[in-house]
Structure 1
């Protein structure tokens, strides 16, 4: 039986779109919120809007451009290279992003009467981002509840899944081809399979190949 109302933090990428299907499968009402923080792959805003429209989900877009001023990074600045640094965080890490996104999603959720906030953060394939850790999410959940005296639940269906398992979840939800062809994960703004070169595309492709291989092995048994 479906329950209540949920808000999905939604970028139009593989993870958040899988989470959107997951929420639609579990909640009576689902709305999505996307954040415009000056990302250089701004096509994700259009992609998110199109997916929400196709799935009949009410879509909110919030202006978070101040984040770009406070925390320069490779996702918002074309003069900063997308790099994975040994012993350090990738240049795509945006300080405070999930803290702010989830906080604003919570404000929205309370206004529309939603108690669940769904996000695609993941500690298994998280590139070392500290704001994707389960301990951070649990801590923020308590803080949000206290700050607004409202019983929020932050749902993280992908927290302990690797990318292959995320593809498997999309398949179980009947959304495999949709996620594969309609979503935007690429840091360079290329929909579906992406540019194939950036870290996000490599992670997505490796996970897809592992899942397809395991699926074929299952058929052969």
Structure 2
């Protein structure tokens, strides 16, 4: 337990980052969140993050990273690009440099508010091949940030080695299962909660939920 410490959670309002927020609230004395406006398809994502932070009583920061959307060609910042994933290629939803920049800017913010802990929901188990979700990347960046800023950060990745079913299990153990299920926005098409059911993010989320509910004894029912 690190209850005497302060943490900043990289926060999108989705299933993973909201589960990480509940995890951080359990483990740290004080928690703040930071959300990035990088030109994503849905401004609703930002509003969802803001409202969750307010409901949970944590300070919320919004940083303008719109330049990132201007520099990259991806389906999350361009509505005219299809969401696709072909074997042997990165999905069109991959945003070049996103986690690198998000964690770097979160670190600058964290130092300014006196926090040494950064929490992010990246995961190497149920990811889509994104190179900036790998544990090796996070560990490397952690060292780089500490050297660059002469400040001892610790980047926490509570979801790194678990799949979506275990992410639901963690939310349940944190007493946040219903909240995460009903209030978070994971869907690429901007549908809160259960989502559209068709995009890759919704399918991954639902498959994990069904698997967890089956183990939990509810037969995967909605």
- TM class by smaller structure: over 0.9
Q: Which consecutive aligned stretches of 4+ in structure 1 deviate over 3 angstroms post-superposition?
A: none
Residue equivalent to 1:38: 39
Residue equivalent to 2:204: 203
Q: Evaluate the alpha carbon distance shift between residue 215 and residue 77 of structure 1 in structure 2; reply closer, same or farther with a 3 A threshold.
A: same
Residue equivalent to 1:163: 164
Distance 1:52 1:34 in 2: 10
Residue equivalent to 2:124: 123
1:76: Cα distance to partner?
A: 0.6
Show the 5 A alignment for 1:83-94: 83-94=84-95
1:86: Cα distance to partner?
A: 1.0
Show the 5 A alignment for 1:128-143: 128-143=129-144
Unaligned runs of 5+ in 1: none
Distance 1:103 1:217 in 2: 41
1:153-194 residue CA offsets vs partner (Å, 9 max, x unmatched) = 000000001000000000000000000000000000000010
Show the 5 A alignment for 1:204-219: 204-216=205-217
Q: Over the residues paired in the alignment, what is the CA RMSD in angstroms?
A: 1.0
1:217: Cα distance to partner?
A: 7.7
2:93 partner SS: coil
Show the 5 A alignment for 1:147-186: 147-186=148-187
TM-score by length of 2: 0.97
Residue equivalent to 1:53: 54
Show the 5 A alignment for 1:65-104: 65-104=66-105
Distance 1:59 1:21 in 2: 14
